[in-house]
Structure 1
Amino acid sequence: MSEHSTPSKVVVIGGGYAGTLAVNRLRMRADLDITLVNPRPASADRIRSHQFVAGTGDATAEYGTLPGEGVRLVVDSAMRIDTAARTLELGSGRALDYDNVVYAVGSTGATPSVPGTAEFAFSVAELEFARRLPARLDELPLDAPVTVVGGGLTGIETAAELDEQGRRVTLVCGTTLAPTFGAPGRRSIARWLSWHGVAVLEADGVTEVRPVAVVLATGVVRSSALTSWAAGFGVPDLARVSGLRTDELGRLLTEETSTNADDHRIVAAGDAVAPSGRPLRMSCYAAGPPGAQPANTVLSRIAGIEPTAINLAFSGACASLGRRTSVRQLAARTTPR
């Protein structure tokens, strides 16, 4: 250890895909004091949320099987990074000292401004909200109308899972079905949904959620015994609260080495990061492989080596349509970032 007589303290904020990969990468050095801070005692496997709400799979992984030995888990909420004191303030009132911070707080569901969503819609974007859905579904007869709002992959996969459970499902896209897919992929998804009786409303949005109905932008009122909200992403406001520069959504600004633009002791990865002001598309893919980047930057600096820039190629995307079918879209070959 070149500069420290005691182990260098690295605090990783967020135990999702990026944070878990980062802590395990940091274990390449045995002389680091690594702490993982996460608000829940288990990791949320968000790409399984649609299975969780339909009762076909779980969406959590216990931390006993994820971080390797030597990683300390602190179950608490990160409230503020004090860059002057080099401490992370927690919701419990505690403060953790750090030499380096890995910012991997991930994304959340967007806060919709549509009237009635807070009172009557069930979000699938975050585990705490998604946990309310299975019990509510169990209360409903199978033929009760269910509305899923959001034409992205989360909405599509949720609608498909509920359809396979025998539910009567309407998918409201707002704009285009599967906008991140090309035309062939969108046609395949639309064909499957049509064959299975899922009503798809494109170029239409929900302007109000009622206890047993939704109001569409056209003014049409559709019966909905349960409305599931899967539209849009947001990010935690930790960076803003900490006085760090962000983009308009609140993603932390970094250089291409994942180093924060304001403080080189803070490195970042995942959905809540904007390298050079150009964020990667929010996805588990953007949080998985890049999770090693901030850890590599920390390890390089401790070793006195210049950290390297992010080098990532997007290979494609996939969507599950129930338990038996999926659609895979391959990306065209381009220069890696």
Structure 2
Amino acid sequence: MSTTAKELTMKHRIVVLGAGYAGAITAGRLAKRLHRDDVEITLVNADADFVERVRMHQLATGQELRNRPLRTIFEGTGVHVRRARVTAVDAERKTVAVTDERGGATLDYDTLVYALGSAVADFGVPGVAEYAHNVAGKHAALRVRDRLAELGTGARVLVVGGGLTAIEAATEIAEARPDLTVAMVARGGVGDWLDEKAQRHLRTAFDRFGITLHEGVAVTAVQADGVTTGAGGHLPAEMTIWTAGFAVHPIAAATTLEVSESGQIVVDGTMRSVSHPDVYAVGDAARAIAIGGKALRMGCATASPMAWQGADALAARLTGRPVPEAPIGYRSQCISLGRRDAVVQEVTPEDEPKTKVVTGRMGARIKELICTGAAWSVRHPTLMAPSRRRRIVVTAAAPAPAAG
């Protein structure tokens, strides 16, 4: 057998790190786009289940969420699910170090898709790790649920932050536990980026739930009994929930990959690393430019289109087809206010608010449809029939499958 023929018999190894919205959709879409005789797709994730991160405030208040095992989701797709924690990436040797209950192991790849997402950011504020809760992941949300169950009537819950996560967490808790005293503290304004109509509806909802707002107040430290503010004041609380922002995992920054100041992998319009063409990054872990020239913000709203873009570009390069590339823009921002109310703010492709806003029960129904659709898209990343999967070809635009 000639060297070329031998190379063509080897499968191209694609390793996807992280099975959040971005990673899971990418893996599933690649499995639909590529022929399983040509590729070996491994999806690495620390949790055995797909976690609907947009519903963590619901889980935190005691609501039961649908169990979505990754092995069930990808059964029959050809995607191999590897439950393990990623500890390091060597972009020069093209290896990934992982650890699981059996110990450490090394995975080799021909193409890497980095989708490790983000975690809560403490911004160097003392006491956050020791005393504050968060809703950035399943286990953190379950700890919030357990702590809320311990709180008696009149206990004070303080949510730090004024963004989407903060608003959803505060209103969900206030609705589920009207016997608690809920407050929010934010460095800036709460929801002040929204249209005036949306802001008015937010204020009405906060008043209805009895949520106290402390706006324009910086938190400089967290203690067991509350927080210290920039002016030297103290806001008391039996429970503090930190929702002031997210940061990416530090693994990428420890590699030779080009990363931004935030530690995100810098990618081009096809989600391909600008420094390493055999690496793609999607979701919160990537710094991609949106319509209007700004970096895409972290969130489920951007994770899905980034996954579609990255998977389609990679599949096209491997199969010798034209590489699709279209700038990603925005359509709306959706904020749940408990289970029966929401704000759906229509925005421009550049993420600027428009005057069209849907609120109340209709807004809640729209938000629920969007959340349900996001989870559905993980199991159905594309409607392309399996018979239309493309074979890998060896061209100047598509590297040959690895020989080992």
Contact 2:170 2:184 in 1 (8 A): yes
Q: Distance in 2 between matches of 1:45 and 1:187?
A: 29
**C-alpha distance in structure 2 between counterparts of 1:148 and 1:216, whole Å:** 13
Larger mean CA deviation between 257-266 and 211-220 belongs to 211-220
| Residues 82 and 214 (structure 1), Cα distance of their counterparts in 2 relative to 1, 3 Å cut | closer
Q: Which amino acid aligns with 1:300?
A: A
Asked if 1 retains the 8 angstrom alpha-carbon contact of 2:91 and 2:257, the reply is: no
CA distance in 1, matches of 2:345, 2:75: 33
SS in 1 for 2:284: coil
1:242 offset after TM fit, Å? 1.8
Residue 346 of structure 2: which of 327, 330, 333 is its match? 330
Shift of the alpha carbon at 1:184?
2.4
Establish whether residue 319 from structure 1 lines up as the match of residue 327 from structure 2.
Answer: no
1:180 Cα deviation from its structure 2 partner = 4.1
Q: Which residue of 2 aligns with 1:12?
A: 16
Is the contact between residue 226 and residue 234 of structure 2 (CA under 8 Å) also seen in structure 1?
yes
**Equivalence for 1:43:** 50
SS at match of 2:43: strand
Preserved CA contact (<8 Å) 1:253 1:260: yes
Tell me if structure 1 keeps the 8 A contact 2:71–2:81: no
**Structure 1 position 288 matched with structure 2 position 307:** no
Q: Larger deviation: 286-295 or 62-71?
A: 62-71
- The amino acid of 1:162's aligned partner reads I
- Whole-angstrom CA distance in 1 between matches of 2:229 and 2:66: 31
User: 1:60: how far off?
Assistant: 6.0
Aligned runs of 1:44-193 on 2, under 5 Å?
A: 44-58=51-65, 61-69=68-76, 70-91=78-99, 92-164=103-175, 165-166=177-178, 167-193=180-206
Structure 1 residues 161 and 294, CA, compared in 2 at 3 Å: closer, same or farther? same
Aligned-pair CA distance for 1:112: 3.3
Structure label with greater radius of gyration: 2
On the 8 A contact 2:61/2:145 being kept in 1, the answer is yes
TM-score between the two structures when normalised by the length of structure 1: 0.93
Question: Within 5 A, what are the aligned runs for 1:240-251?
Answer: 240-251=253-264
Q: Indicate how the Cα distance of structure 1 residues 332 and 294 shifts in structure 2: closer, same or farther if over 3 A, else same.
A: closer
Deviation at 1:93, TM superposition (A): 2.2
The CA distance in 2 between the partners of 1:177 and 1:87, in whole Å, is 43
Q: 1:30 aligns with which of 31, 35, 47?
A: 35
Any idea what SS the aligned residue of 1:108 has? strand
Query: How much does 1:27 deviate?
Result: 1.2
Paired amino acid for 2:247: G
* CA gap 1:292/1:332 in 2 versus in 1, 3 angstroms: closer
Over 3 Å off, 4+ runs: none
1:21 to 20, 25, 29: 25
For the residues of structure 2 that align with 1:5 and 1:309, how far apart are their CA atoms? 30
* Aligned counterpart in structure 1 of residue 246 of structure 2, from 217, 229, 233: 233
Give the RMSD, CA atoms, in angstroms. Answer: 2.1
Q: Which moved more, 1:161-170 or 1:297-306?
A: 297-306
Q: Deviations for 1:268-315, whole angstroms, at most 9, x for unmatched residues?
A: 211111125953111101101221221112211111234222432311
Distance between the aligned counterparts of 2:72 and 2:207, measured in 1? 40
- Superposed CA offset, 1:154-209 (max 9, x none): 11111101111212100112211124423322221122102221001111122222
Secondary structure of 1:228's match? strand
- Aligned AA (1:135): D
Identity %: 32
Structure 2 distance, partners of 1:209, 1:312, is: 38
How far off is 1:37 after superposition?
0.5
User: Counterpart of 1:295 in 2: which secondary structure?
Assistant: helix
Counterpart Cα distance in 1 of 2:156 and 2:238:
6
Shift of 1:59: 7.9
Q: Is 1:260 the counterpart of 2:273 in the alignment?
A: yes
Structure 1, gaps ≥5 residues long: none
Decide whether the 8 Å contact of 1:267 with 1:297 is kept in 2. no
Paired with 1:181 and 1:60, the residues of 2 have a C-alpha distance of: 33
Residue 296 of structure 2: SS of its match in structure 1? coil
Q: Which amino acid aligns with 1:21?
A: I
Q: Which amino acid aligns with 2:315?
A: L
Whole-Å separation in 2 of the counterparts to 1:265 and 1:281:
24
- Count of equivalent residues: 335
Q: How does 1:269-288 map to 2 (within 5 A)?
A: 269-275=282-288, 278-288=294-304
Single out whichever of 208-217 and 21-30 deviates more from structure 2: 208-217
Instruction: In structure 1, give the amino acid aligned to 2:132.
Output: A
> In terms of mean alpha carbon deviation, does 175-184 or 323-332 score higher?
175-184
The one-letter code sitting in structure 2 at the alignment partner of 1:90 is V
Measure, in 2, the Cα distance between the counterparts of 1:179 and 1:282: 18
Offset, 1:256: 1.0
SS in 2 for 1:89: strand
Q: What is aligned with 2:383?
A: none
